[in-house]
Amino acid sequence: MEKNPIHVLFLCTHNSARSILAEALLNHLGGGRFKAYSAGSSPRENQQPNPLAIETLNNAGIATTGLTSKSWDVFSSPDAPQMDLVITVCDNAAGETCPYWPGQPATAHWGYEDPSAGQASQDEKRIAFIKTLHMIRKRLEIFVNLPEAGLSRLRIQQTARELSQS
């Protein structure tokens, strides 16, 4: 009998860069054991992720179909998928009051600098996006390789929080 995947929601204020990278990367690495989503408290109005996030993912061979910037309210409704883990990936989202998540999922904070911030050139921002993707990948590769027995609710939260220190 096939088990249901572990549902993980990545949060960032605008849901256009870091959370999008994390969503796509976990879905890529997760081997069906995980289903990743992303959202933000103030998503981009046009619902389009940062073009450099999409470019970075495409260049890394990671699927980008269906990625959109969306409000975290989408995941707090009764008919939304129930999350097992919610990870904030920016300091702003970590400090905000999150909505109630059905099922009271485990939580963790993995802070990354915003690769799209500042007045850097496009080439400098491209490099920042690549570095951010690599930092996210480092944590997610450890996470997805946990043995099945290591994926209890308590262990998921403990591991996610431990990974914030690496």
d(CA 57, CA 51): 10
Residue 67 inside a domain? The answer is yes
For position 149, what pLDDT does the model report? Answer: 65
Among the listed residues 12, 26, 108, 156, the single catalytic one is 12
Q: What is the pLDDT of residues 90-143, one digit of tens each?
A: 866 545 555 666 677 888 889 899 998 889 999 999 999 999 999 999 999 988
Residue 110 inside a domain? The answer is yes
Domain count, the chain: 1
For position 163, what pLDDT does the model report? Answer: 77
Q: pTM, whole model, 2 decimals?
A: 0.88
12 is catalytic: yes
90 is catalytic: yes
Q: Is the pLDDT of residue 2 over 90?
A: no
Measured at the CA of 112, the angle between CA 110 and CA 117, to 5 degrees, comes to: 150
For position 136, what pLDDT does the model report? Answer: 97
For position 117, what pLDDT does the model report? Answer: 85
34 is catalytic: no
For position 152, what pLDDT does the model report? Answer: 67
Radius of gyration of the chain measured on its C-alpha atoms: 15
Among the listed residues 85, 90, 128, 133, the single catalytic one is 90
Q: Phi first, then psi: give them for residue 16, nearest 5 degrees.
A: -130, -15
Q: What is the CATH number of the domain that holds 89?
A: 3.40.50.2300
Domain of residue 14 covers 6-156
Residue, of 122 and 158, whose pLDDT is higher: 122
